[in-house]
Amino acid sequence: MFHRVLRAVFAVMTPGRFLPPNQKQEPTEASMSDNDRSRMSATKYLHPFLRGLKPLPEGHEDEIQQIREWMKSQPHLPHISDEYVILFLHSNYYKVKETKDTIECYFTLRANTPDLFTNRDPFGAKNKAILDITHMVGLPNKTAEGYNVLLYRLAEFDYSKLNFADAVRVFCMFNDVKLSEDRLSDGYIVIFDMKGCSLGHLTRVTLPALRAFMHYIQNAHPCRLKKIHVVHTVSFINQVMCLVKPLIHSNLLNLLNFSSEGPESVVDKELLPEDFGGPLQPVKQLHEEQRKNMEENYREWLIETEIFKADEKKRIKKPSKGMFASFTSSFKSLDID
């Protein structure tokens, strides 16, 4: 029992992996439905960057062409812009094989885990509820290395208000917006503040959502993840790490850093909000500003992203379905001492 609980705690604190692309490239009309064709005519140049990516990075025409030729042989994958291709390539440091794997995983997960990648309206009741009880913030300034810093924490500590699958959905929505806003970021430093997290929150975790989330973060999310700081850690974090090491990739383990202190112990205080002794506006204010940006500028864009997914009816070789179980099991029956 305790093993399962500890395994789940790590999920509540894990972050993302890769980063962004987009440009003009006409779709193959014969391969598109009328509905897809009409929707793509309005959206195909706006993803994954709402405001575009001009000019495109130079010197990668060969890699783009290799990905294009490969995608032609994968009829289940959606048509995407050159900017989208650049996003995947950039996140994988322009390595073609790794980029193919990321693209496959990205669109397959988005097709097979609808609880996480549909109903993406930020004004939807479930999404609003998560935005009310969490703070998801991109800090305004970059590190000395040029990396963006993301901060996640609970705004309310009542675990009964948390729906884990909804939280993962909003987390992914927020990160899609950040990829669009930050464009081709050199990297991300992620801070998970565990203050207020309790074993009670683990009773809200659904195992299929957890598995899909971990798979997405490690294999599909297109950003360059540089470091994951978990701060205000719980007292049993060492036991957690002993149990979760077999469950995650070694490269992700190497990025993890744990601190019993706050964010000021892991990044320059000058980058932080006043909540942590820094000069910036409070976390709550930053969260509300970025939430407003999502709601006012990205609402339709987020809803439109639902068309970018694999079409399993067109897939030549079927993938394993192990990770796409229904979102039914949970920790509600666990006895937690």
Instruction: Answer yes or no: do 123 and 112 share one domain.
Output: no
Q: What is the pLDDT of residue 320?
A: 56
Cα–Cα–Cα angle for 196, 253, 186, nearest 5°? 90
Instruction: Answer yes or no: do 11 and 57 share one domain.
Output: no
- Phi and psi angles of residue 329, each rounded to the nearest 5 degrees, phi first: -75, 155
Which of the four pLDDT bands, split at 50, 70 and 90, describes residue 32? very low
**Among 98, 117, 136, residue at a domain's last position:** 117
Domain assignment of residue 238, yes or no? yes
Contact yes or no for 147/182 (Cβ under 8 A): no
Domain assignment of residue 306, yes or no? no
Instruction: Answer yes or no: do 100 and 246 share one domain.
Output: no
- Between helices 237-244 and 2-11, what is the axis angle to 10°? 90
Q: What is the pLDDT of residue 326?
A: 42
Q: What is the pLDDT of residue 242?
A: 60
Instruction: Answer yes or no: do 58 and 123 share one domain.
Output: no
Rounded mean pLDDT, 262-273: 97
Q: Letter for the amino acid at 297?
A: N
pLDDT digits (tens, 9 = 90+) for 113-130: 999 999 999 999 999 999
Q: Would you give the DSSP letter of residue 52?
A: -
Instruction: Answer yes or no: do 139 and 151 share one domain.
Output: yes
Contact yes or no for 225/189 (Cβ under 8 A): no
> How far from chain centre, in Å, is Cα 154?
17
- Residue found under tokens 């379905």: 321
Q: Is 81 helix (H, G, I), strand (E, B) or coil?
A: coil
Which of the four pLDDT bands, split at 50, 70 and 90, describes residue 236? low
Which of the four pLDDT bands, split at 50, 70 and 90, describes residue 3? very low
Which of the four pLDDT bands, split at 50, 70 and 90, describes residue 328? very low
Domain assignment of residue 133, yes or no? yes
Instruction: Answer yes or no: do 179 and 269 share one domain.
Output: yes
6 has pLDDT over 90: no
Rounded mean pLDDT, 154-166: 96
Q: What is the pLDDT of residue 319?
A: 62
Instruction: Answer yes or no: do 112 and 130 share one domain.
Output: no
Give the count of alpha carbons within 13 A of 175, CB side only: 28
Rounded mean pLDDT, 146-154: 98
pLDDT digits (tens, 9 = 90+) for 97-112: 999 999 999 999 999 9
* Angstrom distances, CA of residue 138 to CA of 152, 169, 205, 291: 9, 17, 25, 11
Instruction: Answer yes or no: do 274 and 152 share one domain.
Output: yes
Average pLDDT, the chain: 83
Domain assignment of residue 309, yes or no? no
Instruction: Answer yes or no: do 172 and 237 share one domain.
Output: yes
Instruction: Answer yes or no: do 153 and 132 share one domain.
Output: yes
Domain assignment of residue 41, yes or no? yes
Domain assignment of residue 285, yes or no? yes
d(CA 100, CA 80): 13
Cα–Cα–Cα angle for 177, 178, 182, nearest 5°? 125
Q: What is the largest CA-CA distance in the chain?
A: 59
- Most confident listed range (41-50, 52-61, 253-262, 320-329): 253-262
Rounded mean pLDDT, 203-232: 90
**Which run of H or E residues covers position 136?**
strand 134-138
216 is in which domain, residue-wise? 2-18+119-297
Domain assignment of residue 101, yes or no? yes
Total number of domains in the chain: 2
Instruction: Answer yes or no: do 148 and 94 share one domain.
Output: no
Domain assignment of residue 332, yes or no? no
Cα–Cα–Cα angle for 16, 93, 245, nearest 5°? 40
CATH number, domain with residue 165: 3.40.525.10
pLDDT digits (tens, 9 = 90+) for 179-195: 999 999 999 999 999 99
**Among 92, 117, 142, residue at a domain's last position:** 117
Q: Count of H helices and E strands in the chain?
A: 14, 5
d(CA 163, CA 204): 6
pTM of the model: 0.82
Instruction: Answer yes or no: do 57 and 145 share one domain.
Output: no
**Among 117, 138, 172, residue at a domain's last position:** 117
